[in-house]
Amino acid sequence: MKESGPIDKAKRYIESHTIDADSHRKKKGGPCITFSRQTGAGADRIGEKLIEYFERFNQEFVLFDKTLIDKILEDNELPNKISTYFHEDKFPIISTTMNELFGIHPPIVKLLRVSAKTMLQIGQIGNVILVGRAGNIVTANLPNSFHVRLVAPLDVRITNMQTYYQMGHKEAANFVEKEDKARENFVSANYHKDVDDPTLYHIVVNVHAFSVDESAAVIGNAVMMKFPGWFEG
């Protein structure tokens, strides 16, 4: 089966770099953009448009979401079944219950460390968009990081879920509520932060006020203003 474009691109990105913090410590990395998002805000679509936006300036970016999980599993030779529990909507507060139930080793606390380490290493290389998993908190001290929060009115996000995932209104509303709460709990339980704290981000974008293309342009312009030297020449 032929791999999809984004996954193929992410794998080429990984293969073309030695993911080693020491080797990149003295090297100037491109921007590392993190997306924190409310459910149904369209992070994937905006991320894809943002990649297209940067291509106009001869800059190639790669978006890491589920492919980041694949990278973590590959590096640590963890059983594939753990990937089901490594998403924000199902990731538990640190405990041994899940380990005992599924026989997962290393323990979940190590998975968090591995996830953070991988995001840091990829972030140091730069020219990446990291979606979710508290990427803004993990990479907060990277000088090349730029953090974005994507928001929209609740009714708009519910409608988006209905449109793009063919859900009924009640199902979409329940899904949005559950996902928002899960992401809030993930950040609070594991990083002791409030996901809605605007000071954790460089910009907060109300994606209902802009089209997908406009949202990408707003973010792209802000990144270029923050790191003008990177886009020169």
Predicted local confidence at residue 190, as pLDDT: 87
Specify the pLDDT at position 1: 42
Q: Give the number of other Cβ atoms within 10 Å of residue 169's Cβ.
A: 12
Residue 18 has a pLDDT of 52
Residue 151 falls inside a structural domain: yes
Q: What is the structure's pLDDT at 103?
A: 53
Q: Does residue 87 sit within a domain?
A: yes
Beta strands in the chain (DSSP E): 32-37, 62-64, 128-131, 145-151, 203-206
Compute φ and ψ for 92, nearest 5 degrees: -80, 160
Q: Which domain holds residue 125?
A: 5-12+39-223
Q: Would the pTM count as exceeding 0.75? A: yes
Q: So what's the pLDDT on residue 4?
A: 56
Q: Give the pLDDT of residue 183.
A: 92
CATH of the domain at 57: 3.40.50.300
pLDDT for position 11:
64
pLDDT of residue 69: 63
Q: Does 30 reside within a domain?
A: no
Token couple for 45: 């679509």
* Domain presence at residue 161: yes
Q: Is 232 within the bounds of a domain?
A: no
* Cα gap 13→32, rounded to integer Å: 14
With 0-12 / 13-18 / 19 or more C-beta atoms within 10 angstroms meaning exposed / middle / buried, residue 85 is middle
- Residue 200 confidence (pLDDT): 97
pLDDT at 26: 44
145-151, strands of its sheet edge to edge: 62-64, 128-131, 32-37, 145-151, 203-206
Counted domains in the chain: 1
**Domain assignment present for 21:** no
CA 48 to centroid of chain Cα atoms: 13
pLDDT at res. 229? 83
Quick check: is 147 in a domain?
yes
Establish if 19 belongs to a structural domain. no
Residue by residue, pLDDT tens for the chain (233 residues) are 444 566 666 666 666 665 444 444 444 579 999 999 999 999 999 999 999 999 999 898 999 886 666 666 666 655 555 555 455 554 444 444 444 445 555 556 777 787 888 888 889 889 999 998 899 999 999 999 999 999 999 999 999 999 988 999 999 999 999 999 999 998 998 899 999 999 999 999 999 999 999 999 999 999 999 998 887 65
